[in-house]
Amino acid sequence: MPVYAYRGLNTNGRNVGGIIDADSPKGARQKLRRLGVYPTDLTEQRPEQSGTQSRLSLPLDVGTWFERVAPQDLALMTRQLATLVGAGLPLVECLNALIEQVDSARQKRILSQVRERVVEGGTLADAFKAHPRVFNELYVNMVRAGEASGALDIVLLRLADYTERASQLRNKVRSALTYPTLMAVAGGSILLFLLSYVVPKITRIFQETQQSLPTMTLVLLAVSGFAQRYWWLIVGLVLAAVIAVRVSTRTPAGRLRFDRTVLRLPYAGKLLKKVALARFSRTLSTLLDGGIPLLPSLDIVKNVVSNTVLRNAIEDGRNSIREGQSVAEPLRKSGVFPPLLVHMIAVGEKSGELESMLARAADAYDNEVEASVNSLSSIMEPLIIIFMGAIVMFIVFAVMLPIFELNELVR
């Protein structure tokens, strides 16, 4: 549907502007009049102007690829909407104020379409559901529960807190692993350049002298020659391995084997499991606190958790709970969830404070993940430096030893 940027006057005579979607300019003006806006300027936004599609004219509709909104922007937008709703303003006016507040053309377009659905009589949850790349299932169901209970502002605040915490954890993990990753990539590129270009030029001198070379130099020549002649094979094997993993994980059985293998990795497996458990606990706590029943909440949590092993355990637990069991018992029988989390859930069920216990468990796992990532980063940095130094020292000795022997022969 075309999108139009407008400028006009509202019923109070104030200048207003924004973005609205309609089938035609006439339809856009009619929508604006229904909203109490008298347009003075109406301009159709092309894909390159709105930033929602590629500047190239493609036969495919790639606009949805760029519909995503950063988590921190979504959290800020949700908090602003919660403030407006909590102030007692009508929902359409809240959305109008929010559209004027955001700076991103992408967010303006999405919020304009949300507002249009609300004006036409739809619920806010249904309007959000039309944009699944921005508002996921958790978000939509929380908003639906807030609308049904009359506590939409409180639910939106909880959603903003949840989104901010998830974004903060993701950013902490990313920032802690950025430096070691950059060092590894830069070091590997330098070594590949040395072995494939620099070392062959230097060692060609030794081959021309036809003198016997030390074992260290012969090893370096063999590695350098292989990297120079068969670099395409190395790249091909890496690409083949990546493609094989991606193809195998597209089947349920292959995905299950891959996720099970990931959880068994020596250090990374425990770290990824803690991340998944933190997400499980935080999401379930947010849903239950928002008034969503347990079984629908578990359905949503199952889709939020990406690891198939944990997802299957949640599904089995959900089936057992439907048959009358407690929450903690089927999770304990699965063998996937740690005893600490199961015990906290059991205590929360008995005390009637399951939401708060899950929130505490999520905080604990978030702290453990942050500490583990910081520890891993502090260990990886010196290890990478030592490894790179050892390889460079090996190359230096392999090059210098024949030179020393050549000097001795000359003398």
pLDDT tens string 129-172: 888 888 888 888 888 888 877 788 888 888 888 888 888 877 87
Residue type, 163: T
d(CA 233, CA 354): 55
Q: Which pLDDT value is given to residue 131?
A: 87
d(CA 71, CA 138): 14
Q: Which pLDDT value is given to residue 240?
A: 93
d(CA 96, CA 108): 10
Q: Which pLDDT value is given to residue 51?
A: 40
Mean pLDDT computed over every residue of the chain = 80
As given in the structure block, the two tokens for residue 320 are 């057992």
Q: Which pLDDT value is given to residue 62?
A: 42
Nearest to 52 by CA among 116, 127, 134: 134
Topology of domain 71-162, CATH: Receptor-associated Protein (1.20.81)
d(CA 398, CA 147): 72
Maximal CA-CA distance, the chain: 100
As given in the structure block, the two tokens for residue 367 are 């702290």
Q: One fold for both 71-162 and 178-411?
A: yes
- Domain spans in the chain, listed from the N-terminal domain onward: 3-66, 71-162, 178-411
**What CATH number does domain 178-411 carry, 1.20.81.30, 1.10.3720.10, 3.30.565.10, 1.10.1740.10?**
1.20.81.30
Residue 211 three-state SS: coil
Q: For the chain, which residues score pLDDT lower than 70?
A: 1-3, 21, 45-68, 206-211, 406-411
Q: Which pLDDT value is given to residue 299?
A: 84
